[in-house]
Every structure is written in structure tokens, then in C-alpha cells.
A and B are shown apart, each in its own frame.
Chain A
């Protein structure tokens, strides 16, 4: 009886310790020279990764690759950060958002890929110089391989556009306003507008701007940066033009301030005629569209005085190699295999996402796929004029600051666009104080 209490304490301790050991699992490195590859947890990408690693392992049994979908968390970016902090990173990660790479690069956890044999030639063949410049870090090295993109474009309801008297969706700001005015309606006569030409989430969350402000900014400015050389670069007339455009849309109720996303799909219902979106919408629309519904894609609207090609945001996901990898040479060989032309056809077919390589729309290997998926061809053509994000470790914060000014100016109309952009730039400059 005397031993009871201490015994219970010891039991609890052992109990806790064993739970600890169980929970410590997950992310442990496979032994014996195998390479751990994390894919995203999108079910199509998992299938793609499975096929590729199976094929590779058949031919390279002594350099096996084990693949796992990235562990579930609130967001995969958070999970990766937790892995970096906890030193439980994989060897290869293929879903790295371009905006995150710079801070990891500066922290020294990524392999500078340009030091690997054959990389520079490979990259020059795969991408053009502007893309290569885009993914080059501040120290001149390259820590990421451009993998895939999902360009943001304008989806539009073909019938409604025709009814308004246009052949395709308006391309300029004033055309957009004109069409909006015509489309705006109060169909049930209750005194409130219930049809809007377009819609964008009025959330202030920083990444929401990737679906409104940022694509419009890139389109208007021909792909100009927001940040460059650790200074603010968006304090320019293009940002003001975009803010003014969006502000007028909300002011005149051409875009709804209400949260329409809680309802059933308002585009397929005809409540809105356009939306800024990416290729993922094709699968969704095909599945849920009502009979006779026709839609198409065109580029993001631009200011009336715009000249030159129309750029947009590509939501690029890139491949990185972590320094913890015991065999970067073999990992690189695997990646060459994954990124091979023929295997990228599989990427297209299984996941319907565009590989970020030169001349996707012209490549004969892919023409069969595009014949069968003509709407994807529009995206492939847009892929020539796509930008990712600027290489800066404070990117998220800059977007957050822009979002706050966006909220004040565009949604609540409390500031003029020039003021809002100036204030955002001022706040952003504080981030670069040394």
C-alpha cells in the first residue's frame, strides 16, 4: 500500500511518455538512402505522384523514392513551416508556393539548385529568361524549379454577354463599366439589386488579393513587381488605376458587397455574369452547370490606355529540395524525370494543371490534350504572360497591408485610391527598416 501513490505517478509518466513516442511519429526520415517526396494533398496530384514514383522506382530500384501527401493542417504552408522548425522536412516538396521560398532560402534550409550538375542548362531549356529572373533569389542562386501554374482569367457567361450585345467579355475598364451598367438589375422588384456583373470576395484576408487586386495590377502594369530589391515598387499609377477600377465597381454596386459565396454557385445561377478564376473552375462548371449553359474565358480587364500583352497571376507552385536530403544528386535525377516532357503530359491529363514550361500551347506532344480540352488551350496561351510573386520574405505582410487599404478604399470608400496606395506603401516601407 505504501507504494501506491508513487506507483501511480510512475504509471502516468510512462503512459505519457509512450503517448509522446506515438505522437512523435510522422515525418520521420526513411532509412537507407531512400528519398522522401511530399506532394500536395490534392487527390489528382496524389495520383500523379503515385504514377511517377512507381515508374521511377521500377527503373531505379537502388534510388527509391517514397512519396507522401503533405500532412493535414490548417494550410500546407503552415505544415511546411512546422516541419522546417521541427527539422522534420522531406527531401523534395513539390507544392511550395513561390511566395514562401525566399524566406526559406535566406534561412539556409534549401539546396541552391544551380549548384547541381546540369541544372542551369535544364532550366534554360524549360523556361524563358523572365521566368528564370523571377525565381532567382536575392543572393543570385536559384532555390526553386518552376513546376506548374494556374493562371487567373475572367470566366464569362456567353449567353448573357451576347444578350448585352458583345461578342466576348469586355477587355477594358470602360467596357467593363458599360457592360456592368447594362447587366445590373433588380429582377424581383424588392428595391434591392440582385444581379451583378461580377464578384470578388470582400474578405480582407491577404491571399484574397491574388484573385482581384494582384491579377489586375499585373495586367495593367505588364507584369510589374510589387517589391523589388527589398523596397516598395507598387507605389505607381497602375496600383491606383486598379484601386479606382475596383472602387467604382463597388461604389456603383456592379460588384456586390454582400457575401454571395454562402449561396449556391452564383455564376452558374446567372446571378453574376463574370468572375476572376482559374482553370480549376472548368471541372467544377462542367459538373454543375445547368443544361444549355455556355461559358468561356478571356483575359483580365485592363485600363483603357493599356498597350501590350495582358499579364496575369499564375498561382505558381514550385519544387524545392531541402538541405536535409542525404542524396541531392539522385533527388535531382528524379526531378528531371518528373519534369520530363512526356511525364508532364501526364500532369496535364491527370491534374488539368499547366506545367510552367516554354511553349506549352505549341508543343506537339500536348496538342492532343488541348484538342480535347479547348478551354485549357486559352489558359495555355495566357501562360506566356504569367507572373508569380516577388522574391521577398515579407511578401505576406505586404499583401496584408495592401488588403487593409483595399478594405478602406475599395470596399468602404473611406479613402481615395491615391491615398490608399500611398498609405499602403508607407506602411510597407516600415517593414524594410534596418
Chain B
């Protein structure tokens, strides 16, 4: 008996975290005038909120922008992160420890101080309203470097020695030998980076003003705040739904990896 109560209470608490999303799905398909009294399922199903949203804002374009930017950044972080992580973990050279400390230091540097000057750099380079501004400042990630560094350290030296004997150069060692053996690290870094980049909203708000270049969270945020939605809740919720859907779908299938990746990133801090 106690067990049933226990599981019931647990289920209720889990519901607290899930119910608002269910409500959001329902409300986005409900007619506008029912949203105010909606609790679970709407009595009328309509796509009007979604139709209006597609008319008002270029959400499809924003999706493409977000996807392109997130994929490029993730790729860049993986590549550059492994390159630097490899050099730091498996090579000895002068200045190695200094660089290591620099990386640790930049991890603790609050972004609030670099925000304004980085924007000015974007302006001076003419990168405002371009993909460059969204991508380049995020190509290096200290956390990724540290993660790769630690992971590479744990790999056996013979792997590398064997490759060297075969005549591989350093880049080939990283990408043809180490990468296949570092899938956990790649998955972790990849998921964290992709998620962070997909959800990033402050930086796009700063460097992008042209609606066609905006990322999805940026467009949805501006839509929620601005007057374009004309105080219609359904449209705002529809846009939030469309923003949440990709990540939620990925989460449904890869939940384990998401949880593990974020947990290990938290522990590393």
C-alpha cells in the first residue's frame, strides 16, 4: 500500500515537470478564445495559430539558420577542441602548461565583460547580420578542450605510437585514430555544444537585426515580446512549440546521452 502511494506521489512530482509542456501542446492547437480556460484537452482542434505564425514570421528560415549555425559550431568545436586537447595531452612543448592555465582562466572569465567589445569587433569586421558573427566567436570552447584533453590522456600510448610508425601525421592521428576511440567524449561534447548553440539567444539578439538572419530562439523571443503577435496567445505558444520540438524529439530518442553529457559537463566545472 505504501508503495502505491509512494509511486503515486513520485508520478505527481514528475507530472509537475511534464504537464506544462502537455498544456502548451494542447493550447497551441486550441482556438484562441479557449486558451484562457484550457486545462487539458481543447474541445476544438485548430491549426489557425500555426497558420498565423507562419504568415507573420519567417520561422522556417530561422530554423535553417539555427540548424546551420549549430551544426557548424558543433563541428568546429569538435575539430578544434580535439586538436588543442591532443596537443595539450599527448605532446610536450614549451608553453604547454601556460596554455592550459589560460584555458582554465578563460572558463572562469564572466562573459559580461566581453559582450560589448565582441559586438564592436563584429561591427568593425562588417560581420553584423551575417553567419560569421554567429559562428566564429563560438568555435573554441574551453570545456571541450579540457574534456578532450582528459579523454585523450586516458587512451593508451601504443595506439598513437602504432599510428606514427605507419607514417601518419598528427592530424591523421587525431581524426583517424583517436576519434573512433573517443566516441563517448565526442558524443558528450557534441551534444552539449549543439544544445548550447541551439538555445543561445543573447548573442544573436546583439549581432543580428535582419529578420531573415535571425536564429529560432531569437525570432520566437522577439515575437513573444513584440507587438507582431497582437496579444494572441495561441500564436506565441505555437512558435514556442516549434522551437521546442526539435530538441524534445532528439531528447525522446537520446535521453540517456543528454543526461550523461550534461552531468559530466557540470562535474567538470
Residues of A within 8 A of B (CB): 2, 5-6, 9, 12, 16, 19-20, 23-24, 26, 71-74, 78-79, 81-82, 85-86, 259, 261-262
Contacts and interface: CB of A to CB of B under 8 A. Distances in A.
Contacts of A261: 231
A82 B131 contact: no
A393 to B, nearest CB: 19
A74 B56 CA distance: 12
Interface string B200-232: 000000000111110000000010001000010
Given A5-B171, A23-B131, A74-B226, A16 B209 contact: no
B171 A23 contact: no
Given A16-B131, A24-B130, A72 B212 contact: yes
Interface string B125-145: 010111110010000000000
B130 A72 contact: no
Given A5-B172, A82-B128, A85-B128, A23 B213 contact: yes
B75 interface: yes
B196 interface: no
Given A23-B212, A259-B231, 7 more contacts: A5-B175, A19-B68, A19-B131, A24-B130, A71-B211, A74-B209, A74-B211
B62 interface: no
Contact of B211 (A2, A24, A72): A72
B117 to A, nearest CB: 15
Nearest to A87: B126
B79 interface: yes
Interface of B: 68, 72, 75, 79, 123, 126, 128-132, 135, 171-172, 175-176, 209-213, 222, 226, 231, 233
A81 B132 CA distance: 20
Contacts of B79: 9
B70 to A, nearest CB: 14
Contacts of B129: 23, 82, 86
A6 B174 CA distance: 13
Contacts of B130: 20, 23-24
A72 B126 CA distance: 19
A261 B229 CA distance: 12
A390 to B, nearest CB: 25
Contacts of B135: 16
A206 to B, nearest CB: 14
B110 to A, nearest CB: 26
A70 to B, nearest CB: 11
B239 to A, nearest CB: 15
Contacts of B226: 74
A79 B210 contact: yes
Contacts of A71: 210-211
Contacts of A16: 72, 131, 135
A18 to B, nearest CB: 11
A86 B126 contact: yes
Contacts of A81: 209
Main secondary structure of the interface of A (DSSP, over half): helix
A82 B210 contact: yes
Contacts of A9: 79
A79 B209 contact: yes
B209 A20 contact: no
26 contacts: A5-B171, A5-B172, A5-B176, A6-B171, A16-B131, A20-B131, A23-B130, A24-B130, A71-B211, A72-B212, A73-B210, A73-B211, A74-B209, A74-B211, A74-B226, A79-B210, A82-B128, A82-B129, A82-B210, A85-B123, A86-B123, A86-B126, A86-B128, A259-B231, A261-B231, A262-B231
Contacts of A78: 209
A12 B123 contact: no
Which 3 A-B residue pairs are closest in the complex by CB-CB distance? A82-B209, A72-B211, A262-B231
B210 A26 contact: yes
A19 B61 CA distance: 13
A268 B78 CA distance: 59
Contacts of B175: 5
A81 B175 CA distance: 45
Contacts of B212: 23, 26, 72
Contacts of B209: 73-74, 78-79, 81-82
Contacts of B123: 85-86
A259 B230 CA distance: 13
A212 to B, nearest CB: 17
A81 B226 CA distance: 18
A23 B79 CA distance: 25
B23 to A, nearest CB: 18
Contacts of A72: 210-212
A411 B176 CA distance: 66
Contacts of B233: 262
Nearest to B211: A72
A12 B68 CA distance: 11
Nearest to A262: B231
A261 to B, nearest CB: 6
A381 B210 CA distance: 39
A391 to B, nearest CB: 25
Contacts of B222: 74
Contacts of A26: 210, 212
A332 B185 CA distance: 64
